[in-house]
Structure 1
Amino acid sequence: MPRTPKVLVIGLDGALLSRIEDAGAPHLAALMAAGLTAPSRIEPHAPTLSGPGWATVLTGVWPDKHHVRDNTFSGGRFAEYPDFLSRVSTAAPGLNTCAVTSWAPLAETVFSAKVGTRVATPRAEYDAGTTSRVVAELRGGAPDALFVQLDGIDQAGHEHGAASRQYLEAIRGADAHVGQLVAAVGARPADEDWLVMVTADHGHTDTGGHGGPSPQESRTFLIAVGGGLPPGSVRDDVRMPDVAACALAHLGIALDPAWGLDGRPLHTPSATRRTTGYGSATAD
């Protein structure tokens, strides 16, 4: 019998793939070995800030459409370009959707009321609280599509820089949280077909910070396991908006051309992509 498709998207704020590899993060390394690793970068001139970065990941369109330019989310066109969980809830109201974020503005601003569960973790609990809430949902609930954002790597990047020991330690801490999430998915019923995706909203400079156009600030990535992706595969044609498109496609939701998505499912040839340009990025 066909298995029921499910999706978990894990966002590691400010994480650099190269430093994940340097950190010796075992759970993320296991995901890379089991599926796809796709280094990527933010489109030229798109802001390398969390607001526009996560808006791009979650809506499946670049900032020239969703109009988020900074971390205030002002001007965001989420009615025209909703987050992928809201699209799931609209297209398939019977599916259970959940978003839990350590960075409060994300849960409070991007996701619509159509999403079944929207939680901004109290600052005192931070990533541990975010992880425990999602693990509880996976263990005791009946989720179909989840998004979780962990913030500790970005904090370490701002305070100490991407070249620091503290940044590597933050990656190892996030890796432990990823391990808990993946273990909870693995304990789910065998008739569920999970696509697990791990991604980031931007990179960081060696000295700390982001928001500029440098290659290190513009780096992002996708690690994906499930959906028939070959183990140990590597691609260079995957972009940030693909995350939302992949999630929707895996859940069996047809991508309506009228939605204007810039993302494509991973099995779609990259030749169908468009090239875009934006105004100048501004730092936070």
Structure 2
Amino acid sequence: MTGRRPRPAPGRRPAALSSEVSVPRTPKVLVIGLDGALLGRIEDADAPHLAALTAAGLTAPSLIEPGAPTLSGPGWATILTGARPAKHRVRDNSFTGNAFARYPDFLTRLASAERDLATCAITSWAPLAEKVFSARVGTRVATPDAEYDAGTTDRAVAELRHGDPDALFVQLDAIDDAGHRHGAASPRYLEAIHGADAQVGRMVAAVRARPVDEDWLVLVTADHGHTDTGGHGGPSLPERETFLIAVGDGLAPGSVRTDVRMPDVAATALAHLGLALDPAWDLDGRPLRAPAATG
């Protein structure tokens, strides 16, 4: 990133104007998408970093709405736009006929705001970077297939260490691949979760190593589930399963909610970064909590 506002040295907080006046922390958002991940199997796996996130914040299991496609295209479109399939019109992985001009992704909304916000999307599944996020997003990277999730993670960690992103979306794909090849009930699916957990851990560590004047909200979610034998796209409950793990100020450690839905991810990210949700946007999502005061 270039042309960004100056920041304090790592580990140092800007001095307050007086003993009675404190400088508010800069809000930041990291959204991590674990394609095809089942919350129950995450709990079964050796996944200490994801377990630490659930202990530190909110966990919200949920289901894709009845009748909505349990495919990656529609699932990610719902998460990223804050609108349901009837509005964003993504019905399959081709993204044909989408209504992103009317219902853009949350990074595009942030980049379009009259503020100096740096936005970044890094995805292992190329269509997300290439077809969902608009040219307004500051950085859009589709990781080469040969690098896969390892390359996606390396790029995300580098952005967090050396860049100054206000909002970063990262999508990891290996859990979904293991589900297709071996099924959600297989040891290989658990191994894929273990690998993704280590990558999540690297990203969270990079967030924690950043300056202390930042107010990070970390959101971990999934676009759909998987059957025990492998695959998705049907109406069964395992295929419709999704979840949100959210860690940040104001979210009670170890808490659980059952009223959170996929569109709430985008709405929560927008609200945390201080954007008032305009009723004209016609979003289906609602923030998990009210944004913190900024002045």
**In structure 2, distance between residues paired with 1:93 and 1:80:** 21
Match of 1:275 in 2: none
Matched ranges for 1:126-145 at <5 A: 126-145=148-167
TM score, norm. by length of structure 1: 0.94
Matched, 1:122 2:144: yes
1:53-90 alpha-carbon deviations (Å, 9 max, x no partner) = 00000000000000000000001110000000000011
- One of 37, 40, 45 as aligned partner of 2:62: 40
**In structure 1, distance between residues paired with 2:117 and 2:92:** 31
Superposed displacement of residue 153, structure 1: 0.1
Match of 2:286 in 1: 264
The aligned length equals: 268
5+ residue gaps, structure 2, are 1-22, 291-295
Match of 2:199 in 1: 177
The percent identity for this pair of structures is 79
- One of 199, 207, 216 as aligned partner of 2:221: 199
Matched, 1:80 2:102: yes
Match of 1:150 in 2: 172
Matched ranges for 1:209-228 at <5 A: 209-228=231-250
- One of 116, 121, 125 as aligned partner of 1:103: 125
Superposed displacement of residue 228, structure 1: 1.1
Deviates more, 1:41-50 or 1:91-100: 91-100
**Matched residue type, 2:235:** P
Match of 1:239 in 2: 261
1:144-174 alpha-carbon deviations (Å, 9 max, x no partner) = 0000000000000000000000000000000
5+ residue gaps, structure 1, are 269-284
Larger radius of gyration: 2
- Which ranges of 4 or more aligned residues in structure 1 deviate by more than 2 Å? none
**In structure 1, distance between residues paired with 2:240 and 2:106:** 23
Matched, 1:30 2:52: yes
Superposed displacement of residue 93, structure 1: 4.1
1:18-69 alpha-carbon deviations (Å, 9 max, x no partner) = 0000003000000000000000010000000000000000000000000000
**In structure 1, distance between residues paired with 2:234 and 2:165:** 37
**In structure 2, distance between residues paired with 1:41 and 1:146:** 25
Matched, 1:166 2:188: yes
Superposed displacement of residue 92, structure 1: 3.8
1:177-217 alpha-carbon deviations (Å, 9 max, x no partner) = 00000000000100000000000000000000000000000
**In structure 2, distance between residues paired with 1:82 and 1:94:** 19
**In structure 1, distance between residues paired with 2:43 and 2:200:** 15
**In structure 1, distance between residues paired with 2:189 and 2:83:** 29
The alignment's C-alpha RMSD in Å is 0.7
Conservation of the 8 A alpha-carbon contact between 1:227 and 1:250? no
Superposed displacement of residue 132, structure 1: 0.3
Matched, 1:89 2:97: no
